């Protein structure tokens, strides 16, 4: 590399690292907001978050950054300078993507969007509480109009929804999601039908009074076994569980202690630790470059789903942990068999609320949202028509119709936040996880025996090798291919669900 | 005000508010570091703190800011433009002071200073642990040299120590501190001598096993009674108690639950809440201007000392709270009389460690540090001579000589941090508090009766009216004069100590 190029690369790294530091600080502001911040501080916190967002945006779109970047990569064509290592080329391509994305939206638009969604969030909360779509409707109109404008500003090749999708899942297209989701739907519908014909599963023993200290103690048993590094993380309480990382050495999670449900905290912890391990496993020496960042929202979600469903929903896992759970809640689960317990935590039944849905019907909730979003963005569905479209789709997909909009089209926060294109990531996460898992199981055919005796570190080790340490080095499809030797397909997920739910003994 | 001036004033406010937001974020980073941050995150946190400091410094010394400031106040003479309100004039003078102070130190110097003190801190910890002054000595040499350079860069009229003093206490001079401290010393020495002749006070009942939950519950009883607003604050645990405010609506404190000492947490809470109430009481509408900031470190310390010693060290306070304390620790303090308790918490005896010293001898610890600092800065004392000078002064002032340097000249963190000029604020806090208290007692001659029945909100109200709401509107001396109608003098403090400790019945 020529001197001038080396200098430019160093400059990019320097600015990017600085922006990343600020982003980590933003994460802490939000973590604090959800955990320990006094309620009265909400207004000033919003201003602090906004100030940080402004600074980060300015650094990432500033002239110093774009000048250095242009010296090494053509911003319009993506062509890179010679004599760069393959890692540098990969990093530059990602930097360029981020830059173009950030630059595409004028500050005025970003501010207006932020203001509109801030107002919409307040109205949405009220609308949900009173189940009044009419209240939220004018805001949904505005937000959909802005999301369509956003898609135009970001640019796209085929479908405007592609542009929004790519905010969360780079390179993914609407067409591909349609294909994936249609195969998923075809695979899931008969399976759900089959299970619906079985006698209902009794889950009452999962509800009761579960002492808080014991719930937390059990959470830590799980976290320790999984290899969550205590000196680099925390477990706190918040209204909605989340994970928050500002660096591989500071990757925190929260959980929620449900007043009655035993499994709520357990699955939240398993889910969030998946996110946290990914962040902990990103290469610290690449901190500040794209190679030190998580690949995509879908890949992130694959990591949480991995621990929540593939490990934490596996029978060998509970062969080891169920006795420990019984011991923790001595006197409350004593005479329960593992089969009964395992059957109960896998109960399948169509329901209205996505975040409470079981593993099988969950994907259909996402399919529904994707369908509506795509139509809203391409203009074939009007915001005011959402309630009817929602209910009709619910009936088609799950055979049930919500009694009110609070448990229907008003249930999720995403649209009020303006996050169109986000929902598919949830299901992509499941698909990616299943794809990865087949590779893992092939390399570790003994995985069930090992997990059944509480060995889990080899699982994390495999993910570290195949996913964590690469950051954004490879595009998602390449990452998945390299990890398993197979091109990505939705088949592993369908195989997994069919296999698991067909063999589940109905108690 | 002319249009151009109005525009300039608005610009100053805008930049200043933005910098203040960032400063609040820095406070949160440090609060988190001392309370909940995982240990492993220390390195990245240091980088985050540094990044924020850099941003804040850049905003406060940037050309946009100085240009707007210059339009309204002459940066070299301090002469202000016409047609400004008295509040605006006050704010501009403070902005100019801050600007000149920040601008005086070149970035290179600030970085080198930060680097040197960061290294020194590590060495100091080791030196203190092993009581080896020789280890710390070369770093003290460097830091003193840099502090002297700092004084030169900042500029001063008479004594180089003035420049350092003014970092914490604007307008204060070395000469005035000498005067104040010499009167204090003359007043305290005979009083301490008199008390030393009394029979020793038994304080053993203040040490034992005090349940953590009960300690915290009692802390909250105090905080609620004092009027600390729960929705704008928090009480957490940290190794060293501190207060941390990022806004009047987010003013947090921490305490330490000592394994054996009952009063450690109680006095820490009373001290820190004094700081926190001051921050909570700053005018929110002035947030971002100097009128929304605390006057000085000395005035801040007067607020903590007020609640710790003047209220929390008063007999009527314990007339109300001692029964509650007994109730909280049922079975542990039952047969103790208020007199015995009150005598015990006011035990006076010369000791080596400043932060454990009683109210009377504490000031002499500060006098000692001031004397050494002044000589180190004017060059009449060499860093390597510090241990001997320390021990000699200890003997003169308190009649005792430390057995080792850990309980002597290595005990405090301040010099390793490069904070020369800081120590006097502790004693100024006591002097200011006493001065203010005479004004308060004159206006509320019934204060003892009211406090004895647990009424405390009128105390906070008085401070709000006389201190909190003014921010940096008036110089310290004017603030003190306006609050009480009297020119500031050290007499009230000596009167208070004489009166209190002469009348304390020795049990």
Residue A117 within any structural domain of the chain: no
- DSSP state letters, B84-147: --HHHHHHHHHHHHHHHHHHHS-HHHHHHHHHHHHHHHHHHHHHHHHT-HHHHHHHHHHHHHHH
For A245, the enclosing helix (H) or strand (E) is strand A243-247
Chain A residues within an 8 Å CB radius of B231: 38-40
Please name which of A325, A327, A312 lies closest in space to residue A272, comparing C-alpha atoms. Answer: A312
**Catalytic position from the list A59, A94, A169, A272:** A272
Four-CA torsion A7, A13, A17, A19, nearest 10 degrees = 90
A24/A19 Cα distance (integer angstroms): 9
- Written as six digits, the tokens of A293 are 């960042």
Closest chain A residue to B288, measured at CA = A44
Judge if A333 and A477 occupy the same domain.
Answer: yes
Choose among B55, B236, B250: nearest Cβ to A44: B250
Of the candidates A70, A104, A138, which is a domain's last residue?
A: A104
Residue A28 at interface with chain B, using a CB cutoff of 8 Å: yes
Nearest-5° Cα angle at A467, A356 to A274: 30
Q: Which residues of A touch B44 (CB under 8 A)?
A: 21, 24, 246-247, 249-250, 287
Chain B hits for A29, Cβ within 8 Å: 25, 28
**Which residue of chain A has the CA closest to B23?**
A48
Contact A234 B36 (CB under 8 A): yes
* pLDDT at residue B111, as a whole number: 87
Nearest to A385 by CA among A141, A129, A124, A120: A141
Q: What is the pLDDT of residue A506?
A: 52
- Calculate what percentage of chain B has a pLDDT beyond 90: 93
Count of Cβ atoms closer than 10 Å to residue B96 Cβ: 22
Q: Let me know whether A335 and A456 are in one domain.
A: yes
Is A49 a member of any domain?
yes
Closest CA to B429 of B289, B262, B238, B297: B297
**φ/ψ of residue A235, rounded to 5:** -125, 115
Chain A: closest CA distance from residue B379 (Å): 40
Structure-block tokens of residue B468: 């909190």
Dihedral sign, CA of B12, B14, B20, B25? negative
When pLDDT is averaged across residues B265-285 and rounded to a whole number, the result is 98
Q: Nearest CA to B226 among B429, B480, B464? A: B464
**Tens-digit pLDDT profile for residues B166-176:** 999 999 999 99
Task: Determine contact, residues B239/B34, Cβ cutoff 8 Å.
Answer: yes
C-alpha distance from B210 to closest chain A C-alpha (Å):
21
pLDDT < 50 stretches in chain A: 507
Residue B181 lies in a domain: yes
CB-based contacts of A236-242 (< 8 A; 24+ apart in sequence) = A236/A35, A236/A36, A236/B36, A237/A35, A238/A34, A238/A35, A239/A34, A240/A34, A241/A268, A241/A269, A241/A271, A241/A272, A242/A34, A242/A272
Nearest-Cα distance to chain A for B225, in Å, is 19
β-strand partners of A235? A253
Shortest distance, CA A260 to any CA of chain B (angstroms): 25
B143 found inside a domain? no
Per the CB < 8 Å rule, is A51 touching B247? Answer: no
**In a domain? residue A427:** no
Tell me if chain B has a CB within 8 Å of the CB of A29. Answer: yes
Q: Which residues of B touch A250 (CB under 8 A)?
A: 37-38, 40-41, 44-45
Q: Does B185 touch chain A (CB under 8 A)?
A: no
Residue A272 is among the residues annotated as catalytic for this protein: yes
Confidence tier at B118 by pLDDT (50, 70, 90): confident
B49–A contact, CB cutoff 8 A = no
Distance to chain B for A254, nearest Cα, Å: 13
CA distance B187 to A506: 87
Q: Given an 8 Å threshold on Cβ–Cβ distance, is B40 in contact with A250?
A: yes
Residue B427 region by backbone torsions, left for phi larger than 0, else alpha for psi between -120 and 50, else beta: alpha
- A269-273, A321-325, B199-203, B322-326: least confidently modelled range: B199-203
* Rounded Cα gap, residues B497 and B442, in angstroms: 18
Task: Determine the pLDDT at residue B449.
Answer: 98
Q: Is the residue at A471 inside a domain?
A: yes
Tell me what ipTM this predicted complex has.
0.94
- Among residues A44, A76, A104, the one where a domain terminates is A104
Average pLDDT over residues B208-222: 97
Q: Is the pLDDT of residue B296 over 50?
A: yes
User: Closest Cα partner for A56 from A11, A13, A15, A12?
Assistant: A15
> Mutation test of the interface with chain B: which of A47, A236, A254, choosing the one with the most B Cβ atoms within 10 A?
A47
First and final CA of chain A: distance in angstroms? 66
Q: Is B20 on the interface with A (CB under 8 A)?
A: no
Binary contact (A36, B36; C-beta < 8 A)? yes
Catalytic member of B59, B169, B272, B279: B272
Judge contact between B277 and B303, C-beta under 8 A.
yes
State the best of A39, A41, A280 to mutate against chain B, taking most chain B CBs within 10 Å: A41
Which residue from A minimizes the CA distance to B250?
A: A41
Q: Is B270 part of any domain?
A: no
**Token pair for B220:** 């909250």
Work out the average pLDDT over B114-132.
Answer: 93
* Residue (of A502, A488, A359) closest to A427 by Cα position: A359
pLDDT range class, residue B62, cuts 50, 70, 90: very high
Tell me the C-alpha distance between B83 and B59, whole Å.
27
Give the pLDDT of residue B199. Answer: 87
Tally the domains of chain A.
2
Per the CB < 8 A criterion, the answer to whether A234 and A253 are in contact is yes
- In this complex, is the C-beta atom of A51 within 8 Å of any C-beta atom belonging to chain B? yes
Given CA atoms B120, B125, B126, B131 in this order, what sign does their dihedral have?
positive
Q: Mind spelling out the 3-state secondary structure of B183-241?
A: HHHHHHHHHHHHHHCCCCCCCHHHECCCCHHHHHHHHHHHHHHHCCCHHHCCEEECCCC
Q: Which pLDDT value is given to residue A507?
A: 44
Query: Which residues does residue A255 pair with via DSSP β-bridges, in sequence order?
Result: A237
In the block, tokens 């020496």 appear at A285
Q: Does A376 touch chain B if contact means CB atoms closer than 8 Å?
A: no
Taking each continuous run of H as one helix and of E as one strand, the counts in chain B are: 21, 3
Task: List, in sequence order, the alpha helices (H) in B227-358.
Answer: 262-281, 297-305, 315-328, 338-344
On whether any CB of chain A is under 8 Å from the CB of B444, the answer is no
Query: Is residue A247 helix, strand or coil?
Result: strand
CA distance B241 to B271: 9
CB contact A389 to B (< 8 Å)? no
Say which residue the tokens 């947030």 belong to: B287
Closest CA to B99 of B61, B63, B151: B61
Residue A211 lies in a domain: yes
Those residues whose C-beta lies under 8 Å from the C-beta of residue B147, and which sit 6 or more positions away, are B164, B376, B377, B418, B420
A249/B25 CB distance under 8 A:
no
- Average pLDDT, stretch B378-392? 97
Window A:258-287, CB contacts with B under 8 Å: 287
Query: What is the structure's pLDDT at B334?
Result: 93
| Contact in structure between B358 and B346 (CB atoms under 8 Å) | yes
**Nearest CA of chain A to the CA of B408: how many Å?**
34
- Whether the per-residue pLDDT at B196 is higher than 90: the answer is no
Question: Residue A77, Cβ neighbours under 10 Å: how many?
Answer: 8
Chain B interface mutation, best of A249, A252, A287, highest count of B Cβ atoms under 10 Å: A249
CA nearest A249 in B: which residue? B41
Are A94 and A232 contained in the same domain? no
Closest CB from A38, A55, A250 relative to B41: A250
pLDDT at B203 over 90: yes
Is the Cβ of B220 closer than 8 Å to some Cβ of chain A?
A: no
Tell me, yes or no, if A40 comes closer than 8 A to chain B by beta carbon. yes
DSSP annotation of B81 reads P
- Could you tell me which residues come within 8 angstroms of residue A492 by beta carbon, excluding any fewer than 6 positions away? A431, A434, A435, A437, A438
Residue B57 forms contact with A (CB below 8 Å): no
Distance CA A464, CA B341 (A): 60
**Whats the size of chain B, residue-wise?**
507
Contact B420, B378 (CB under 8 A): no
C-alpha–C-alpha distance, residues A452 and A311, integer Å: 11
Closest CA to B114 of B43, B67, B53, B71: B53
In b/e form, how buried is each residue of A256-271, taking b as 16+ CB within 10 angstroms? Answer: bbeeebbbbbbbbbbb
Distance CA B195, CA B347 (A): 9
Q: In this complex, do A40 and B250 lie within 8 Å of one another by their Cβ atoms? A: yes
Distance CA A470, CA A222 (A): 26
**Do residues A60 and A99 touch, judged by C-beta distance below 8 A?**
yes
Joined tokens for residue A120 = 């919409």
The first and second tokens of residue A216, run together, are 């937390």
Q: Are A338 and A319 in contact (CB under 8 A)?
A: yes
| Cβ separation B44–A246 shorter than 8 A | yes
What is the distance between the alpha carbons of residues A381 and B108, in angstroms, rounded to a whole number? 60
Q: Average pLDDT over chain B, rounded to whole?
A: 96
Domain end, chosen from A77, A104, A131, is at A104
CB neighbour class for A132 (10 Å; exposed up to 12, middle 13-18, buried from 19): middle
Range of the domain at A66: 3-104
CA B252 to each of CA A247, B188, B437: distance values in angstroms, whole numbers, following the listed order:
25, 34, 25
For residues A209 and A330, state if they share a domain: yes
């Amino acid at each position: 590399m020529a001197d001038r190029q080396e200098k430019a690369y160093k400059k990019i790294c320097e600015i990017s690292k600085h922006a990343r530091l600020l982003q980590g600080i933003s994460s802490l502001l939000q973590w604090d907001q959800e955990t320990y911040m006094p309620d009265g501080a909400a207004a000033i916190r919003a201003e602090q978050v906004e100030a940080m967002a402004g600074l980060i945006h300015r650094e990432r779109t500033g002239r110093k950054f774009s000048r250095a970047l242009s010296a090494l990569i053509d911003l319009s064509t993506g062509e890179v300078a010679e004599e760069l290592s393959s890692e540098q080329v990969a990093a530059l391509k990602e930097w360029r993507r981020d830059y173009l994305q950030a630059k595409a939206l004028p500050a005025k638009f970003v501010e207006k969007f932020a203001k509109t969604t801030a107002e919409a969030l307040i109205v949405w909360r009220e609308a949900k509480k009173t189940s009044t779509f009419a209240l939220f409707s004018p805001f949904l109109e505005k937000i959909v109009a802005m999301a369509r404008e956003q898609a135009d500003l970001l640019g796209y090749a085929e479908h405007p929804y592609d542009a929004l999708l790519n905010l969360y899942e780079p390179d993914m297209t609407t067409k591909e999601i349609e294909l994936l989701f249609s195969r998923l739907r075809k695979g899931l519908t008969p399976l759900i039908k089959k299970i619906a014909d079985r006698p209902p599963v009794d889950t009452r023993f999962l509800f009761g009074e579960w002492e808080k200290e014991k719930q937390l103690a059990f959470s830590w048993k799980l976290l320790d076994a999984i290899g969550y590094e205590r000196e680099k993380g925390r477990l706190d309480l918040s209204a909605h569980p989340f994970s928050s990382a500002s660096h591989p050495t500071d990757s925190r999670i929260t959980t929620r202690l449900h007043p009655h449900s035993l499994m709520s905290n357990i699955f939240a912890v398993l889910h969030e630790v998946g996110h946290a391990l990914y962040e902990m496993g990103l290469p610290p020496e690449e901190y500040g470059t794209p190679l030190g960042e998580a690949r995509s929202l879908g890949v992130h979600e694959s990591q949480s789903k991995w621990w929540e469903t593939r490990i934490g929903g596996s029978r060998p896992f509970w062969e080891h942990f169920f006795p420990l759970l019984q011991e923790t809640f001595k006197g409350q689960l004593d005479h329960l068999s593992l089969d009964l317990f395992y059957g109960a935590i896998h109960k399948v039944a169509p329901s209205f609320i996505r975040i409470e849905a079981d593993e099988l019907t969950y994907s259909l909730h996402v399919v529904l949202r994707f369908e509506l979003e795509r139509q809203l963005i391409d203009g074939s569905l009007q915001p005011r028509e959402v309630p009817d479209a929602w209910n009709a789709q619910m009936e088609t997909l799950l055979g049930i119709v919500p009694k009110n909009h609070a448990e229907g089209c008003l249930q999720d926060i995403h649209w009020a936040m303006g996050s169109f294109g986000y929902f598919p990531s949830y299901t992509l996460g499941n698909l990616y996880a299943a794809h990865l898992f087949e590779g893992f199981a092939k390399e570790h055919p003994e995985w069930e025996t090992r997990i059944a005796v509480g060995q889990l570190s080899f699982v994390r080790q495999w993910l570290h090798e195949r996913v964590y340490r690469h950051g954004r080095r490879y595009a998602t499809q390449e990452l998945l291919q390299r990890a398993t030797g197979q091109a990505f397909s939705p088949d592993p997920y369908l195989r997994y669900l069919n296999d698991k739910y067909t063999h589940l003994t109905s108690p």
